[in-house]
Amino acid sequence: MGGNPKVKFGTGQHDYDLICIGAGIGGLAASALIAKEGLKVLTLEFFTGKP
Ligand SMILES: Cc1cc2nc3c(=O)[nH]c(=O)nc-3n(C[C@H](O)[C@H](O)[C@H](O)COP(=O)(O)OP(=O)(O)OC[C@H]3O[C@@H](n4cnc5c(N)ncnc54)[C@H](O)[C@@H]3O)c2cc1C
Protein backbone atom coordinates (compact mmCIF):
# COMPACT_ATOMS: atom_id res chain seq x y z
CA MET A 1 0.00 0.00 0.00
CA GLY A 2 1.03 3.64 -0.04
CA GLY A 3 1.72 6.10 -2.80
CA ASN A 4 -0.87 7.60 -5.06
CA PRO A 5 -3.77 5.56 -6.37
CA LYS A 6 -3.14 4.52 -9.98
CA VAL A 7 -6.14 4.17 -12.26
CA LYS A 8 -5.96 2.65 -15.71
CA PHE A 9 -8.61 3.63 -18.23
CA GLY A 10 -8.74 4.91 -21.77
CA THR A 11 -5.35 4.96 -23.39
CA GLY A 12 -3.09 5.15 -20.37
CA GLN A 13 -2.43 5.05 -16.66
CA HIS A 14 -3.29 8.04 -14.52
CA ASP A 15 -2.04 9.11 -11.11
CA TYR A 16 -4.34 10.86 -8.67
CA ASP A 17 -3.79 12.27 -5.22
CA LEU A 18 -7.36 11.45 -4.31
CA ILE A 19 -10.32 9.57 -5.74
CA CYS A 20 -13.73 10.84 -4.68
CA ILE A 21 -16.69 8.45 -4.98
CA GLY A 22 -19.92 10.31 -5.69
CA ALA A 23 -20.58 13.65 -7.33
CA GLY A 24 -23.26 14.95 -5.01
CA ILE A 25 -22.85 18.35 -3.39
CA GLY A 26 -20.45 16.87 -0.82
CA GLY A 27 -18.24 15.10 -3.37
CA LEU A 28 -18.20 18.01 -5.79
CA ALA A 29 -17.41 20.56 -3.09
CA ALA A 30 -14.60 18.41 -1.68
CA SER A 31 -13.23 17.70 -5.17
CA ALA A 32 -13.26 21.39 -6.10
CA LEU A 33 -11.47 22.40 -2.90
CA ILE A 34 -8.83 19.71 -3.38
CA ALA A 35 -8.30 20.65 -7.05
CA LYS A 36 -8.01 24.30 -6.05
CA GLU A 37 -5.12 23.30 -3.77
CA GLY A 38 -3.35 21.93 -6.84
CA LEU A 39 -3.94 18.24 -6.18
CA LYS A 40 -5.18 15.83 -8.83
CA VAL A 41 -8.60 14.46 -8.00
CA LEU A 42 -10.75 11.95 -9.86
CA THR A 43 -14.47 12.21 -9.09
CA LEU A 44 -16.53 9.14 -9.95
CA GLU A 45 -20.33 9.14 -10.24
CA PHE A 46 -22.46 6.13 -11.13
CA PHE A 47 -25.68 7.98 -11.87
CA THR A 48 -26.21 7.80 -15.64
CA GLY A 49 -28.88 10.48 -15.81
CA LYS A 50 -31.47 7.87 -16.78
CA PRO A 51 -33.99 6.99 -14.04
C1 LIG B 1 -36.30 14.52 -2.09
C2 LIG B 1 -35.18 15.34 -1.47
C3 LIG B 1 -35.28 16.71 -1.43
C4 LIG B 1 -34.28 17.50 -0.86
N5 LIG B 1 -34.39 18.86 -0.86
C6 LIG B 1 -33.44 19.61 -0.34
C7 LIG B 1 -33.54 21.04 -0.35
O8 LIG B 1 -34.51 21.61 -0.81
N9 LIG B 1 -32.52 21.76 0.21
C10 LIG B 1 -31.43 21.17 0.76
O11 LIG B 1 -30.54 21.88 1.23
N12 LIG B 1 -31.31 19.82 0.77
C13 LIG B 1 -32.29 19.04 0.26
N14 LIG B 1 -32.18 17.66 0.29
C15 LIG B 1 -31.00 17.07 0.94
C16 LIG B 1 -29.81 17.10 0.01
O17 LIG B 1 -30.16 16.51 -1.23
C18 LIG B 1 -28.70 16.27 0.66
O19 LIG B 1 -28.42 16.75 1.96
C20 LIG B 1 -27.40 16.37 -0.14
O21 LIG B 1 -27.67 16.02 -1.49
C22 LIG B 1 -26.37 15.42 0.44
O23 LIG B 1 -25.23 15.55 -0.35
P24 LIG B 1 -24.16 14.42 -0.45
O25 LIG B 1 -23.08 14.90 -1.39
O26 LIG B 1 -23.73 14.02 0.92
O27 LIG B 1 -24.92 13.14 -1.03
P28 LIG B 1 -25.66 12.97 -2.42
O29 LIG B 1 -26.22 14.26 -2.95
O30 LIG B 1 -26.62 11.84 -2.18
O31 LIG B 1 -24.51 12.52 -3.41
C32 LIG B 1 -23.95 11.23 -3.39
C33 LIG B 1 -23.61 10.88 -4.84
O34 LIG B 1 -22.81 9.70 -4.83
C35 LIG B 1 -23.24 8.86 -5.87
N36 LIG B 1 -22.83 7.52 -5.53
C37 LIG B 1 -23.26 6.75 -4.50
N38 LIG B 1 -22.63 5.58 -4.48
C39 LIG B 1 -21.76 5.60 -5.53
C40 LIG B 1 -20.83 4.64 -6.05
N41 LIG B 1 -20.64 3.44 -5.47
N42 LIG B 1 -20.10 4.97 -7.14
C43 LIG B 1 -20.27 6.19 -7.73
N44 LIG B 1 -21.14 7.13 -7.30
C45 LIG B 1 -21.89 6.84 -6.20
C46 LIG B 1 -24.74 9.06 -5.96
O47 LIG B 1 -25.24 8.72 -7.24
C48 LIG B 1 -24.83 10.57 -5.69
O49 LIG B 1 -24.79 11.33 -6.87
C50 LIG B 1 -33.16 16.87 -0.29
C51 LIG B 1 -33.05 15.46 -0.33
C52 LIG B 1 -34.04 14.71 -0.91
C53 LIG B 1 -33.92 13.19 -0.96
30 within ligand 1 shell (Cβ under 6 A): no
- 3-state SS, the chain, equals CCCCCEEEECCEEEECCEEEECCCHHHHHHHHHHHHCCCCEEEECCCCCCC
pLDDT confidence of residue 4:
67
From the alpha carbon of 26, which atom of ligand 1 is closest?
A: 25
Give the residue extent of every domain in the chain.
Answer: 19-51
Ligand 1 site-directed mutation target among 46, 48, 50, most atoms within 8 Å of CB: 46
pTM given for the model: 0.83
pLDDT, one tens digit per residue, over 22-31 is 999 999 999 9
pLDDT, one tens digit per residue, over 11-49 is 777 789 999 999 999 999 999 999 999 999 999 999 888
26 within ligand 1 shell (Cβ under 6 A): yes
